[in-house]
Amino acid sequence: MAFVYDISTSKKDNSANVCLQICHLFYCIINLFLSTFLVAYIYDLTNGIFDYIYNVAIYNLFIYIGLIVFYLILAPLVDKTNRVWFYRVGIVINMALVVLCVFCGKQIANLLILAGLLNGVAKAFYYSSYNTIKQEMVSRKSIKSFAVFSSVLSQIINIVVPILMGLLISSSTYSMVAIYVCVVCVIQLGVSFGVKSKKPEGSNFSIKGYFSKLKQNPEVYKKMKFLYFGSLIYGSATIVSTLLNICIMLEFGSSFSLGVLTSVFAAVSVVSLLLINKFTTAGKRKVVLSICAILPVIGSVLFASMSNYITLIIYNLLIVIAKIVAETIFDTYRNSNLKEAGLYSEITEHQTVNEVLFNISRIIVFGILILLGLINSLVVFKIFFVIFACTYSFLIIFLIIYEKRYIIASTIKEPLEK
């Protein structure tokens, strides 16, 4: 059975919980460098719009190939051992990728497949353990407030860090900033020793067994299958952030501009999250969610028809509101439903199913983006942009249906955070 803090006799370890939060904030900083700003750096190393799109797509495709392959390998091992060591290995591999950026400099453009695979392996080690540790350490009662608190903290990082990182890259080099990020990696590794976990006894990782147990309760099984379908939509939404970064670089052409805009949009995300959390209740968000679902459609059509920096900024503002609302609510349900069903020892299996579905859809959409880079058609790219920019609209519509079926019907009427 898994090590859980939900059992009434267990003692919550607030210190370990704080260390987990701090480590994840450091991870957000490192991820900004290896995603948002590496995408910007690729722009400086590439000639032509479609070469740039192709290279960004290749990098991301191999991230998710590495992630899905190694997640499937690691999940059974994480379930049976002290998962915090896998968590630290993920931090170390991330550090190795940052060191690669230090020494390779502009040659990183020739190593995008290797860089993507390293990033994916690091994410597999990190998330296969983090997802399990988080579920074990945070009680079902607290998971909603934990999700909101984590989102707010990560968005604060996204407000402060991008401006600083963009300024540093613009005034020095990407490789020089990689040295500073290496220091952050070392600090993160040190803090990770405050995160605690225990080796579970008698663990028996089995996806087949997990679904067999789900089927014993038809109502729970229906609910989880519906959520897993939402995971496919959620995974494909990853491409929206990449498309935004591509468009910002094509329009503004500098890391500093990307940093400033990322910070502004993160501030909008925080405000949106706080408002949705304070003034809406689970099962009573239909009108608000419907409005949020329309925003990406308006923004993407506006930008695709009149591509300039003003419509790009408007589109970004609209998409970040829909994005933060959709992701936070979906994450809350995804992380709480297993515990509501009383399936505490199946946490690792549940997270593995989610990650596989996320990354299958990510591999598909980035594979399509590679083809667009080879087709060299701006019209086709704009059609693709509008369709996938609306992914968050699809996810929000999914949440509206989910809340109507499973929240109102079960008379659960609690806010996102108490």
Of 358, 381, 355, 359, give the one whose Cα is nearest residue 368. Answer: 381
Q: What size, in residues, is the chain?
A: 418
List, for residues 321-349, the tens digit of each pLDDT value: 888 888 888 888 887 777 666 676 777 78
Q: Report the distance separating Cα 26 and Cα 6, nearest Å.
A: 27
Q: What is the pTM of this model?
A: 0.83
CATH code for the part of the protein at 14-195+205-407: 1.20.1250.20
Among 196-200, 249-253, 304-308, name the one with the lowest average pLDDT. Answer: 196-200
> For residue 113, how many other CB atoms are within 10 A of its CB?
14
Among 315-319, 339-343, 413-417, name the one with the lowest average pLDDT. Answer: 413-417
Rank 46-55, 86-95, 194-203, 259-268 by mean pLDDT and report only the highest.
Answer: 86-95
Q: Report the distance separating Cα 29 and Cα 259, nearest Å.
A: 12
Q: Is the predicted pLDDT of residue 403 greater than 60, yes or no?
A: yes
Q: Is the predicted pLDDT of residue 2 greater than 60, yes or no?
A: no
Confidence of residue 415 (pLDDT cuts 50, 70, 90): very low
Where exactly are the structural domains of the chain?
Answer: 14-195+205-407
> For residue 379, how many other CB atoms are within 10 A of its CB?
9
Q: Is the predicted pLDDT of residue 362 greater than 70, yes or no?
A: yes
Among 117-126, 265-274, 361-370, 385-394, name the one with the lowest average pLDDT. Answer: 265-274
State the average pLDDT over residues 24-49. 86
pLDDT at 201: 61
pLDDT at 20: 87
Confidence of residue 200 (pLDDT cuts 50, 70, 90): low
State the average pLDDT over residues 159-166. 83
The two tokens of residue 136 are 């074990």
Q: Is the predicted pLDDT of residue 118 greater than 90, yes or no?
A: yes
pLDDT at 203: 67
Q: Distance of alpha carbon 375 from its chain centroid, rounded?
A: 29
pLDDT at 251: 79
pLDDT at 131: 79
List, for residues 74-103, the tens digit of each pLDDT value: 888 887 777 888 999 999 999 999 998 888
pLDDT at 236: 92
The two tokens of residue 141 are 């009662």
Confidence of residue 404 (pLDDT cuts 50, 70, 90): confident
List, for residues 371-392, the tens digit of each pLDDT value: 988 988 888 888 888 888 889 9
**Residue 413, H or E segment:** none
> Cα dihedral sign for 23, 27, 28, 30?
positive
DSSP 221-283: HHHHHHHHHHHHHHHHTHHHHHHHHHHHHHHH--HHHHHHHHHHHHHHHHHHHHHHHHH-BTT
